[in-house]
Amino acid sequence: MSDTTAHEEPELIQLLTPEGELTGHPDYPLDISAEEIRALYRDLVLVRRVDSEAVSLQRQGELGLWASLLGQEAAQIGSGRALGERDMAFPSYREHGVAWCRGIAPKELLGMFRGVTNGGWDPHEHGFHLYTIVIGSQALHATGYAMGVQRDGAVGEDGTAVISYFGDGATSQGDTNEAFNFASVNNAPVVFFCQNNQWAISESTERQSRVPIYKRAAGFGFPGVRVDGNDVLACLAVTRAALNNAREGNGPTLVEAFTYRMGAHTTNDDPSRYRASAELDEWKAKDPILRVRRYLENNGLADDAFFASVDTEAEAIGEQVRTECRALPDPEPLDIFHEVYAEPNVQIDRQRSEFAEYLASFEGVGAEGGR
């Protein structure tokens, strides 16, 4: 089988090198102040801190599970900060950095992984849909939402763009490919933001795609671009351009953020079973936070006091996350019957009252019901 495409070295859009040199890119001019770059640095450090705290909380039994974003901070903060207030994001389940940008409090995310809620935040209030577990489903939701935006005539500079997040594994799903096609034929204002973190649990990207993922867009009839997913400035510039393009009625773009899952798939996973540690070392040299720090330091745009203040803030957030997580109340048993239907439902009502009666039968027998 001829396979020339897979062997070409694809262009990687990069604005900031791992060494911290700001090279820029002719196709993606980025007008950004030192203050804004410092703000991005702060975002990166704080979401990493929230994430590491969540991993610890899972280890301590406070969370049932956690899907770490370690290594993917730049892809999420860069794209998340590119979003406008009216834009709508459809995440997978690892987008804690995007959630941060959309004003979702970390405790909301923790609640889901602790098992006290299945989501719960208001997607409309934040322009951030609920986490979606079944891989790729949300790509179609984003596309449908974008088709609604089109029908509302919410186009132009003040219009709404939609972004769908998913991983390299999801590009194998029918839903994702159907979303590409629906978006294309409808010219829908949606950006497909694929974080290619190289691993779908134990399966490398080679098991998912024979061609670089961004190149698939061409077959569906819209542009695809590969961006250095560990370069927050490149992710910001490329996503902003794609969102603006969508907003102005020019249809979808596939952005492949080339990054790396530095941690496990989730806290239940042990990556040492399927990948070499040398690979992790290679990616550590491309760390998304380190390069921003180097840039700020090398150019005298931030002093020690700034870095120290961010670290202090990070520690405070870690503490806050810990405290808030432990304080999350367990739901009441009858919560099971809430929000199943919009309208009264006799079947649910009957089961709720039977269960309430059953629970009441244990009163006075002790909390464990005599077990």
Partner 1 sequence: MGTNLTIGKAINAGLRASMEHDPKVLVMGEDVGKLGGVFRVTDGLYKDFGADRVIDTPLAESGIVGTAIGMAMRGYRPVVEIQFDGFFFPAANQTFTQLAKMRRRSAGKLSMPIVMRIPYGGGIGAVEHHSESPEAYFTHTAGLRVVTVANPEDAYWMIQQAIRSDDPVIFLEPKRRYYEKAEVDTAAPIEEATPMGAARVARHGTDATLLAYGPMVKTALQAAEADTDHSIEVVDLRSLSPVDYPTIVESVKRTGRLVIAHEAPLSGGPGGEIAARVTEECFYHLESPVIRVAAFDTPYPQSRLEEHYLPDLDRVLDGVDRAFAY
Shortest Å, Cβ 162 to partner 1: 22
358 part of the interface to partner 1, by CB under 8 A: yes
- Listed ranges 35-43, 46-54, 106-114, 150-158: which one lies at the site for partner 1 (CB under 8 A): 106-114
Closer CB to partner 1, 29 or 369, in the complex = 369
CA pair distance 138, 165, nearest whole angstrom: 8
In terms of C-beta distances under 8 Å and separation of at least 24 residues, what long-range contacts does 351-359 make, across chains too? 359/333, 359/334
Shortest Å, Cβ 249 to partner 1: 32
Contact 91, 136 (CB under 8 A): no
Shortest Å, Cβ 94 to partner 1: 12
8 part of the interface to partner 1, by CB under 8 A: no
CA pair distance 242, 27, nearest whole angstrom: 12
Closer CB to partner 1, 298 or 351, in the complex = 351
353 part of the interface to partner 1, by CB under 8 A: no
Strand arrangement of the beta sheet that strand 224-228 belongs to: 88-90, 162-167, 190-196, 253-258, 224-228
Choosing from 169, 224, 229, 318, the residue that interacts with partner 1 (CB under 8 A) is 169
181 part of the interface to partner 1, by CB under 8 A: no
The SS3 of residue 209 is coil
- Listed ranges 32-40, 185-193, 280-288, 358-366: which one lies at the site for partner 1 (CB under 8 A): 358-366
Shortest Å, Cβ 69 to partner 1: 16
Shortest Å, Cβ 129 to partner 1: 14
CA pair distance 81, 206, nearest whole angstrom: 30
Choosing from 45, 170, 194, 213, the residue that interacts with partner 1 (CB under 8 A) is 170
Q: Judged by CB under 8 A, how many residues of this single chain contact partner 1?
A: 47
Give the chain's count of helices (H) and strands (E). 14, 7
The residue among 327, 91, 115 whose CA lies nearest residue 104 is 91
Q: Tokens 């997913």 label which residue?
A: 229
CA pair distance 119, 339, nearest whole angstrom: 13
- Listed ranges 100-108, 116-124, 143-151, 291-299: which one lies at the site for partner 1 (CB under 8 A): 116-124
333 part of the interface to partner 1, by CB under 8 A: yes
CA pair distance 257, 235, nearest whole angstrom: 7
CA pair distance 95, 65, nearest whole angstrom: 15
Query: Footprint of partner 1 on residues 182-221 (CB under 8 A)?
Result: 200-203, 207-208
Q: Give the torsion sign (CA, 311, 233, 160, 91).
A: negative
- Listed ranges 7-15, 121-129, 150-158, 169-177: which one lies at the site for partner 1 (CB under 8 A): 169-177
CA pair distance 213, 200, nearest whole angstrom: 14
Shortest Å, Cβ 340 to partner 1: 5
Q: Give the binding site for partner 1 (CB under 8 A).
A: 64-65, 93, 112-118, 133-136, 169-170, 172-175, 200-203, 207-208, 268-269, 273-274, 330-331, 333, 335-337, 340, 347-348, 351, 355, 358, 361-362, 369-371
